[in-house]
Every structure is written in structure tokens, then in C-alpha cells.
Amino acid sequence: MQGAFDRRTTAEQAGRGVDLRGRHAIVTGANTGIGLETVRVLALCGAEVTMACRDAQRARVAREGLIAGAGGRVEPSRIDIAELDLASLASVRAFAAARTASARPIHLLINNAGVMLPDRRQTRDGFEAHLGVNHLGHFLLTLLLLDRIRQSAPARIVNVASDAMHFAALDEELTDLNWEARRYSGWRSYGSSKLMNLLFAGELNRRFGEDGVAAYALHPGIVQTELARDQPWWMLPVGLLMWPFMKGVDRGAATTVYAATAPELARAGETIYFSDCAPARTPKLAGQAGVAGRLWQRSAELVGHREQGQD
């Protein structure tokens, strides 16, 4: 019911009445913050959920806490854990290989994990970390799981992006994606990776919408999570001042659950970017012909992914 929700809506309210029994969801970055709340609510709706996390011990603790806190409403067998480090393409490949080796369907892929860093860091494969973790890791993961997702249709892919995309430093030609030729800006690089999350969702719809796969991107709001953990100490007072005005994770996961489950979003239409469970404004570049396709191609080259039909 588009329009029935707003910024006060909680994830549980967004998922009310949704029956996900027999559906399997994978949530990346699921051991804390928005991802963990997303797992909790999808499981409450009846889904089987895989928590895809880089630190198995943190994931185990989070899973146990979730089950204990659910007061019997979440069957433990419905939630499993799998290791996935998006900063390593080898880890992404190993994760996807294990998923595709089993016959299990994938109805929902929630690309939620993310980092927000003040300085230039690199992934194991030499990519600037926002590009590598927030976009390329999820890009490769999604492509490697796509056949299974298409076989499981109707299916959805939800990219947790951010309104920080309005500060992106991307041009039409996608110049210097890896921040080698420019003065580095953590914030603009983060914003660029989040714009890539939106462009990627758009291109997924263009290529696979007819196959029953709908892809969305969203801004969760400004949410009380650990996202700012890497920011310098002098940012702490700013965070403390803002904290009371931020959404709790109960509301921070609402738009993710909405994009993943709302019946009216079964097929992706023109609007694929949401905030507060409602359509949200996107940067101009997102509407420019060819950019999303170019990003797809460039990303495939960067991660060394050859698509069917290429030799």
C-alpha cells in the first residue's frame, strides 16, 4: 500500500501481513545495524534468512541475540550464517559457489553491507574501499547468484544505498572510479558508491525485469548504527548531537523491508529509489542514458566477470 507508510514506520509495520514462508533471503552485513533488523523482520514474516557476514563470530552472537529477543517468534532453524567478505573477490566467489552448489532458491537478495570511511583504504584486490565493498563486491555477488535468483522468480534484489549519492563525484564517462588521479574525498567516494548501488539496480531491471526479477535501491534515513565507526574522534561530538534526531534501527530497516516485500513493488516500474517507504529524488546522472550500462560493463571488467556469450 504505497503512501500508507512514512518516516515513523518501523520495519515490523512495513512487513505486517506479509507472508514469506517458503521464501529464502540473503542479507549481507547482517550482524548489526540495519542488516540485523532486516533479518529479524524477514524471519518474523516467515522467511528463511542467510546472514552473510565477514565475521562469523560476530554473526553467531547476533543470531543468538536475535533469536533470544524474538521470544519464540523466530524458529532458530530459519536463520543460518555464511561467511562473506565483500572486500575480497575470492571470498565473494567462494560464498556464491557454495550457494549455487546447493539447490536452495534465492528469492530475496538484500545488498546491505557497507562502509563509510574518512580516508583512502583498499580492498584485498586493490580497489578503493567504497568502490570495492559497497559496489563491486555486491556487483559480483549479484551476478554470480543471478541464474539462481532468476530460477527462483518472482525475486527481488534490494540495494541499500544512501541519499549521500547526491554528493557523488561520478561523471558520465565514469572517469577515475578507483580514485587514483584525484584528490581523495571519503564522503564523495562514499556517495559515488551509493550512486552506483542505484545505477546497478536500474540496469538489473533493464536486463532482467522481464524474468520476474525486480531491483530497488533505497535510502534508509540517518540511522543509529555503527556506520560511523571509522570516522575520526573529532566527529564524535557531531554524532552525539545528531543521535537523538536519528532513526532507531527499528525504523531504519523499514524502507528495506518495504522494497523487499511490498506487493505493489512485485514488478519494478519507473520508480526504483525509495526513502521513508516512498519514492525519492535521484541525481540527474541516474537518468542519463547509457551510464548504468557503462557502469555494468566497467564493473564486470574490474571484477573479471565474463558474461555468457562473451568469449
Ligand X SMILES: NC(=O)c1ccc[n+]([C@@H]2O[C@H](COP(=O)([O-])OP(=O)(O)OC[C@H]3O[C@@H](n4cnc5c(N)ncnc54)[C@H](OP(=O)(O)O)[C@@H]3O)[C@@H](O)[C@H]2O)c1
Catalytic residues, which ones? 190
Residues in contact with ligand X, shown as a per-residue x/- string from 61 to 100 under the rule CB under 6 A? -----------------------xxxx-------------
> Can you tell me the distance from the alpha carbon of 71 to that of 193, in angstroms, rounded to the nearest whole number?
38
Residues 111-150 binding ligand X (CB under 6 A) are: 112-115, 133
CB of residue 126 vs ligand X: minimum separation in angstroms?
14
- 29 forms part of the interface with ligand X (CB under 6 A): yes
- 201 forms part of the interface with ligand X (CB under 6 A): no
Sheet with 155-160, side-by-side order of all strands: 79-83, 48-53, 24-28, 108-111, 155-160, 213-219, 273-275, 278-279
CB of residue 293 vs ligand X: minimum separation in angstroms?
23
Q: Which is nearer to ligand X, 91 or 100 (CB)?
A: 91
CB of residue 219 vs ligand X: minimum separation in angstroms?
6
Using the structure block, give the residue that is written with the C-alpha cell 538484500.
Answer: 110
Strand, coil or helix: 223: strand
Q: What is the DSSP letter of 243?
A: G
Q: Which is nearer to ligand X, 47 or 218 (CB)?
A: 218
**Residue selected from 20, 220, 262, 303 as contacting ligand X according to rule CB under 6 A:** 220
Task: Give the binding range for ligand X (CB under 6 A) out of 1-9, 107-115, 147-155, 235-243.
Answer: 107-115
**Residue selected from 9, 10, 31, 142 as contacting ligand X according to rule CB under 6 A:** 31
> Can you tell me the distance from the alpha carbon of 158 to that of 256, in angstroms, rounded to the nearest whole number?
7
CB of residue 249 vs ligand X: minimum separation in angstroms?
7
Distance between terminal CA atoms of the chain?
A: 45
Residues 289-308 binding ligand X (CB under 6 A) are: none
- 39 forms part of the interface with ligand X (CB under 6 A): no
> Can you tell me the distance from the alpha carbon of 246 to that of 252, in angstroms, rounded to the nearest whole number?
9
- 152 forms part of the interface with ligand X (CB under 6 A): no
Pick the closest to residue 49 from 82, 16, 1, 84 (CA basis).
82
Burial of 95 (0-12, 13-18, 19+ CB in 10 A): buried
Task: Give the binding range for ligand X (CB under 6 A) out of 10-18, 53-61, 63-71, 287-295.
Answer: 53-61
Q: Which is nearer to ligand X, 118 or 212 (CB)?
A: 118
Strand, coil or helix: 240: helix
- 57 forms part of the interface with ligand X (CB under 6 A): no
Torsion sign over Cα 21, 25, 31, 37: negative
Q: Which is nearer to ligand X, 232 or 309 (CB)?
A: 232
How far from chain centre, in Å, is Cα 226? 16
Cα–Cα–Cα angle for 227, 48, 300, rounded to 5 degrees: 60
Q: Which residues bind ligand X (CB under 6 A)?
A: 28-29, 31-35, 54-55, 58, 84-87, 112-115, 133, 160, 162, 219-220, 222-223, 225-227
